[in-house]
């Protein structure tokens, strides 16, 4: 009899919704304050609310691969310079933070094959199309359609995320956007995929290889999805943040009232308590060691051999930390006079290009060369004429020596060199390499693995929102919002 009453009372309580809501996490740690770490901090705060304390560990500089440096009292982007116009999260951040977009100042590009310029952009858009068509015929149209199709599928993510859907792996995310075919784009190479749709080998060698090289310092063996994203960027409509792209990172951290610690995370280990699993984050702050406990830990720093190592100790079963290698790209910011003769223009006044991309030729000492605009451009800003000293950004596979600098530049006032562990070393794809996991342990998430599917400021932002939603949905057991397929159809009928 008494059990029955108790049961009935329990039922009543359930019906009245008197059940205690699950508690919020007390504390969350985010490792890394690049755009991935800053964005995930902001999205976590949005999801869990302001009561949750978020600590952000940054070993080096807030902004990570978004960085600036100073030449002659002006600042320039030294890391990622530009953002695509379809990058909706970045556009939102800029609006939210009261920042401004800085449109790219128009300029013309050319492609250099180590010997001569093989393709020159003109001022006249139609003439460009005509030339590409003349040289490469239908290849050019097929390429455009291929890139547009990939971007259209990718853009679906914004709608899914607006409805709080999350994915437990990058493969699941891609599958929901474009099915198995889209997942396969992370395994097949750009070259193989383009040949498959009938793009000519010559077009791939002359044009695609230069764009891919200029973007990633790698060959057309990189995965198709990575290639499609960079080709979307090559079609123009790029912008940057007035005052520097890194302002988005510091702005988001401030807005989230996060506690930023200048410390290097060295290890993450489980710490068992009776109720919730906790994690201990071990760090090194100017030589002093410390550790703190958290309910959730988000690793928003790429785990690679040349980065700061993080060990995952005492996990049962052990965590196989996905440690890969990253590709080095050297950025040299040169203030000086370009040697236009090197590109076949003995009279520098007649050199009309603001950027030169190099094809994948073994003789080429550089990947790309670009005349930079400062991070603040006034309304009347115009680029320096080619015979005047300007600030150039040279991307190369290794640091340029004096002789190489003297070849590319007639003379220069200064050179500043930054070596980036810039992108995953994609190597040759086709070997069916699985993408790194997102969930490393119950409450430990890895954001940066997304770079193996594609790498850009926006990919990190999309991954940040996904991880924040995933952590939130899993915390409150909202399983209906995780790994749902056929969302395109579902959302259509829901609306």
Ligand X SMILES: *[C@@H]1O[C@H](CO)[C@@H](O)[C@H](O)[C@H]1NC(C)=O
Ligand Y SMILES: Cc1cc2nc3c(=O)[nH]c(=O)nc-3n(C[C@H](O)[C@H](O)[C@H](O)COP(=O)(O)OP(=O)(O)OC[C@H]3O[C@@H](n4cnc5c(N)ncnc54)[C@H](O)[C@@H]3O)c2cc1C
Residues near ligand X (CB under 6 A): 100, 180-181, 184, 242-243, 339, 341-342, 376, 406-407, 410
Least Å from the CB of residue 121 to ligand Y: 18
β 101-103/53-57 pair status? unpaired
Please, which residue, 33 or 334, has the CB nearer to ligand Y? 33
The Cα–Cα gap between 387 and 396 comes to: 23
Least Å from the CB of residue 80 to ligand Y: 3
Residue 60 contact, options ligand Y, ligand X, none, Cβ 5-8 Å cut-off depending on partner type: ligand Y
Residue 121 contact, options ligand X, ligand Y, none, Cβ 5-8 Å cut-off depending on partner type: none
Residue 192 contact, options ligand X, ligand Y, none, Cβ 5-8 Å cut-off depending on partner type: none
Please, which residue, 52 or 86, has the CB nearer to ligand Y? 86
Least Å from the CB of residue 445 to ligand X: 27
Please, which residue, 459 or 487, has the CB nearer to ligand Y? 459
Please, which residue, 180 or 363, has the CB nearer to ligand X? 180
Least Å from the CB of residue 441 to ligand X: 30
Please, which residue, 80 or 355, has the CB nearer to ligand Y? 80
Please, which residue, 408 or 444, has the CB nearer to ligand X? 408
> According to the 3-state scheme, what is the secondary structure of 3-49?
HHHHHHHHHHHHHCCCCCCCCCCCEEEEECCCHHHHHHHHHHHHHHC
The Cα–Cα gap between 174 and 194 comes to: 20
Which residues would be at the binding site for ligand Y (CB under 6 A)? 31-37, 57-60, 64-66, 79-83, 264-265, 300-302, 307-308, 310, 329, 331, 420, 422, 448, 455-458, 460
Residue 345 contact, options ligand X, ligand Y, none, Cβ 5-8 Å cut-off depending on partner type: none
**DSSP per residue, 107-163:** --EEEE-SSSEEEE--S-HHHHHHHHHHHHTHHHHHHHHHHHHHHHHHTHHHHHHHT
361: DSSP letter: -
Least Å from the CB of residue 339 to ligand X: 4
Least Å from the CB of residue 315 to ligand X: 32
Residue 184 contact, options ligand Y, ligand X, none, Cβ 5-8 Å cut-off depending on partner type: ligand X
The Cα–Cα gap between 336 and 355 comes to: 15
CA within 13 Å, CB half, 115: 3
Q: How many helices (H) and strands (E) does the chain have?
A: 15, 22
Residue 386 contact, options ligand Y, ligand X, none, Cβ 5-8 Å cut-off depending on partner type: none
Residue 227 contact, options ligand X, ligand Y, none, Cβ 5-8 Å cut-off depending on partner type: none
Residue 100 contact, options ligand X, ligand Y, none, Cβ 5-8 Å cut-off depending on partner type: ligand X
303: DSSP letter: -
DSSP strands (E only) in 272-371: 278-285, 288-294, 296-299, 311-312, 326-338, 355-358, 368-371
Report cis status (omega within 30 of 0) of the bond before 423.
Answer: no
**DSSP per residue, 365-431:** S-SEEEEPPPSS--TT--PPPTTS-EEEEEEESS---HHHHHHHEEEEEEEEEEEEEEEE---S--S
Phi and psi (nearest 5°) for 222? -65, 160
Least Å from the CB of residue 223 to ligand Y: 15
Least Å from the CB of residue 118 to ligand Y: 23
Within 10 Å of residue 326's Cβ, how many Cβ atoms? 19
Least Å from the CB of residue 126 to ligand Y: 27
SS3 211: helix
Please, which residue, 82 or 219, has the CB nearer to ligand Y? 82
Please, which residue, 31 or 207, has the CB nearer to ligand Y? 31
Please, which residue, 13 or 116, has the CB nearer to ligand X? 116
Residue 58 contact, options ligand X, ligand Y, none, Cβ 5-8 Å cut-off depending on partner type: ligand Y
Structure tokens at 269: 């280990």
**CA nearest neighbour of 469 among 440, 441, 445:** 445
């Amino acid at each position: 009899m008494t059990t029955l009453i108790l049961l009935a009372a329990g039922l009543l309580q359930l019906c009245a919704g008197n059940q205690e809501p699950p508690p919020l996490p007390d504390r969350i740690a985010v490792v890394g304050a690049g755009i991935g770490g800053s964005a995930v901090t902001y999205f976590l705060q949005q999801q869990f609310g302001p009561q949750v304390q978020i600590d952000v560990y940054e070993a080096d500089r807030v902004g990570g691969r978004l960085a600036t440096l100073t030449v002659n009292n002006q600042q320039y982007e030294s890391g990622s310079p530009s953002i695509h116009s379809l990058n909706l999260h970045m556009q939102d951040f800029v609006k939210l933070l009261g920042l401004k977009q800085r449109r790219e100042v128009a300029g013309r590009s050319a492609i250099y094959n180590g010997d001569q310029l093989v393709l020159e952009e003109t001022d006249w858009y139609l003439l460009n199309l005509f030339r590409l068509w003349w040289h490469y015929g239908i290849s050019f149209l097929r390429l455009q359609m291929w890139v547009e199709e990939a971007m259209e599928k990718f853009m679906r993510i914004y709608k899914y995320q607006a409805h709080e859907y999350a994915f437990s792996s990058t493969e699941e995310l891609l599958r929901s956007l474009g099915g198995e075919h889209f997942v396969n784009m992370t395994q097949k190479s750009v070259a193989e995929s383009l040949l498959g749709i009938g793009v000519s080998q010559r077009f791939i060698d002359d044009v695609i290889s230069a764009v891919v090289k200029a973007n990633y310092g790698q060959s057309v063996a990189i995965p198709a999805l990575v290639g499609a994203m960079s080709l979307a960027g090559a079609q123009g409509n790029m912008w940057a943040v007035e005052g520097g792209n890194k302002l988005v990172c510091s702005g988001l951290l401030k807005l989230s009232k996060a506690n930023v610690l200048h410390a290097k995370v060295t290890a993450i280990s489980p710490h068992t308590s009776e109720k919730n699993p906790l994690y201990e984050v071990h760090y090194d702050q100017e030589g002093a060691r410390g550790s703190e406990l958290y309910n959730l830990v988000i690793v928003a720093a790429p785990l690679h051999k040349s980065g700061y190592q993080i060990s995952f100790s005492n996990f049962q079963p052990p965590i196989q930390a996905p440690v890969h290698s990253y590709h080095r790209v050297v950025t040299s910011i040169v203030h000086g006079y370009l040697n236009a003769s090197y590109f076949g223009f003995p009279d520098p006044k007649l050199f009309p290009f603001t950027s030169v991309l190099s094809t994948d030729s073994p003789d080429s000492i550089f990947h790309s060369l670009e005349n930079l605009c400062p991070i603040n451009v006034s309304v009347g800003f115009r680029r320096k004429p080619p015979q005047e000293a300007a600030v150039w950004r040279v991307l190369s596979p290794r640091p340029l020596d004096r002789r190489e600098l003297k070849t590319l530049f007639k003379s220069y006032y200064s050179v500043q060199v930054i070596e980036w562990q810039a992108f995953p070393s994609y190597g040759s794809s086709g070997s069916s390499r699985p993408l790194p996991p997102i969930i490393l342990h119950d409450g430990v998430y890895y954001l940066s693995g997304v770079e193996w599917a594609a790498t850009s400021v926006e990919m990190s932002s999309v991954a940040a929102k996904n991880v924040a939603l995933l952590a939130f949905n899993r915390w409150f057991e909202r399983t209906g919002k995780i790994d749902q397929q056929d969302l395109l159809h579902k959302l259509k009928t829901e609306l």
